[in-house]
């Protein structure tokens, strides 16, 4: 066989292994929750008294690593570890260390995480050594009192120390804030100025009616259009074509030179470019944040040592991926888009 023919066959085999949904969207991004537990109890995310999954249902780190390897073999190029709070999972750095070999080989393009920042000061050096280049930090306000009320048990000082640690080791930070009526209108501009002063992008996300927060959803929901109108009284927002590869739409802030993004699951669909699936710490793969349909990859994984069977289950599920969520269509009555808490699938 000639080298040219072998190369062509290799390319064809790689293309055939990729995950493509019924609408032609290539799935290259997995958000993997490594735990449903968190050291905070943010009001838009979790109930104050949570019932967590039994330990026996949570996949071992070795099982999560195996699952990630199967996804990489199917063409996934980006893995984001989430929670709950991923850095409270005991031994989680062993998973980062194992996955880092995929970065070094070039099989995986990016390994990153979303965190509340409280453990970053402890783990920033190890994360950087594992090849983590970027991190999303959830931070809704710089007001310590408001922060404590939102998180119920969080300490703003520890989060800011974590952000400083990420800066120190060269990990690029992006700030994620949940837009909340009666809070974000006053907190957003100071947060933007602070973040832009440190070179961070900021993204505001509309509250979604998921899990236990659905009863309070209408009291918390702040449409992005209203937030932009509020911000425009203090800052000049200029449209920009910049895209980060996710659902955020960005604006340039004239006064700071930085970018502010808005994610609009309730008021504007962004599903046409969806390239992701979400997997819980028990191995349930959700094809859309706003739908309950899922496949139990954990069960398949534990029942078989054959990775091909797990890959087949992933393919069969992706073949049923819906066109998009319908939060907005149901927003008037504020019913839940899904019964599970957002902490289970990692947002």
> What is the Cα–Cα distance from 41 to 62, expressed in whole angstroms?
28
Which are the contacts of 308, defined by CB distance < 8 A and separation ≥ 6? none
> What is the Cα–Cα distance from 146 to 149, expressed in whole angstroms?
5
> What is the Cα–Cα distance from 129 to 198, expressed in whole angstroms?
22
- DSSP H helical ranges for the chain: 3-17, 61-73, 92-105, 120-129, 144-151, 156-168, 184-197, 217-220, 224-231, 297-303, 307-318, 342-345
What is the Rg, in whole angstroms, of the alpha carbon atoms belonging to the chain? 20
Question: For residue 18, what pLDDT is reported?
Answer: 87
Average pLDDT of adjacent 10-residue blocks, the chain of 347 residues: 40 60 94 96 87 95 98 98 96 98 97 98 98 98 96 96 98 96 94 98 86 63 91 95 84 97 73 85 88 89 97 96 62 50 66
- Taking each helix axis from N to C end, the angle separating 61-73 and 307-318, rounded to the nearest 10 degrees, works out to 60
Question: Is-contact 344 33, C-beta < 8 A?
Answer: yes
Q: What burial letters (b/e) apply to 53-91, b meaning 16+ CB within 10 Å?
A: eeeeebbebebbbbbbbbbbbbbbbbbbbbbbbbbbbee
Question: For residue 293, what pLDDT is reported?
Answer: 79
Question: For residue 347, what pLDDT is reported?
Answer: 59
Question: For residue 207, what pLDDT is reported?
Answer: 84
Half-sphere exposure of 324 (CA within 13 A, CB side): 15
Question: For residue 220, what pLDDT is reported?
Answer: 79
- Taking each helix axis from N to C end, the angle separating 156-168 and 120-129, rounded to the nearest 10 degrees, works out to 20
Please choose, from the candidates 212, 192, 343, the residue with its C-alpha nearest in 3D space to the C-alpha of residue 256.
192
What are the domain boundaries of the chain?
26-338
Question: For residue 343, what pLDDT is reported?
Answer: 67
Which one of 3.30.930.10, 1.10.10.350, 3.20.20.70, 3.30.565.10 gives the CATH number of domain 26-338? 3.20.20.70
Q: What burial letters (b/e) apply to 201-238, b meaning 16+ CB within 10 Å?
A: bbbbbbbbbbbbbbeebeebbbbbeebbebbeeebebe
Question: For residue 258, what pLDDT is reported?
Answer: 97
Question: For residue 180, what pLDDT is reported?
Answer: 92
Helix or strand or coil: residue 202? strand
Could you count the other beta carbons within 10 Å of the beta carbon of residue 50? 16
């Amino acid at each position: 066989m000639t080298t040219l023919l072998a190369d062509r066959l290799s390319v064809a085999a790689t293309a055939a292994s990729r995950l493509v949904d019924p609408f032609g969207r290539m799935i290259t991004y997995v958000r993997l929750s490594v735990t449903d537990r968190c050291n905070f109890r943010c009001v838009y995310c979790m109930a104050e008294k949570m019932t967590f999954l039994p330990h026996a249902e949570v996949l071992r780190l070795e099982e999560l690593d195996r699952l990630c390897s199967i996804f990489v073999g199917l063409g996934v190029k980006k893995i984001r570890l989430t929670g709950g709070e991923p850095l409270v999972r005991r031994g989680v750095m062993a998973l980062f260390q194992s996955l880092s070999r995929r970065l070094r080989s070039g099989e995986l393009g990016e390994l990153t995480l979303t965190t509340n920042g409280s453990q970053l000061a402890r783990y920033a050096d190890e994360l950087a050594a594992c090849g983590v280049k970027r991190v999303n930090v959830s931070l809704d306000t710089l007001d310590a009192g408001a922060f404590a009320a939102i998180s119920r048990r969080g300490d703003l000082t520890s989060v800011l120390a974590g952000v400083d640690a990420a800066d120190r080791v060269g990990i690029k930070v992006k700030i994620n804030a949940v837009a909340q009526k009666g809070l974000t209108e006053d907190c957003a501009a100071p947060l933007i100025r602070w973040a832009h002063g440190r070179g961070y992008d900021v993204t505001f996300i509309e509250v979604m009616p998921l899990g236990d927060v659905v009863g309070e959803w209408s009291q918390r929901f702040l449409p992005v259009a209203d937030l932009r109108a509020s911000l425009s009284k203090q800052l000049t927002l200029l449209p920009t074509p910049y895209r980060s590869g996710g659902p955020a739409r960005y604006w340039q802030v004239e006064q700071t030179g930085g970018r502010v993004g808005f994610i609009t699951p309730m008021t504007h669909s962004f599903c046409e470019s969806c390239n992701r699936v979400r997997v819980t710490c028990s191995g349930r793969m959700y094809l859309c944040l706003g739908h309950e349909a899922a496949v139990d990859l954990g069960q398949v994984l534990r029942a078989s040592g054959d990775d091909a069977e797990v890959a087949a289950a992933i393919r069969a599920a992706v073949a049923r991926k819906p066109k998009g969520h319908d939060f907005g269509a149901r927003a008037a009555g504020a019913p839940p888009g899904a019964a599970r808490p957002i902490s289970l699938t990692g947002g």
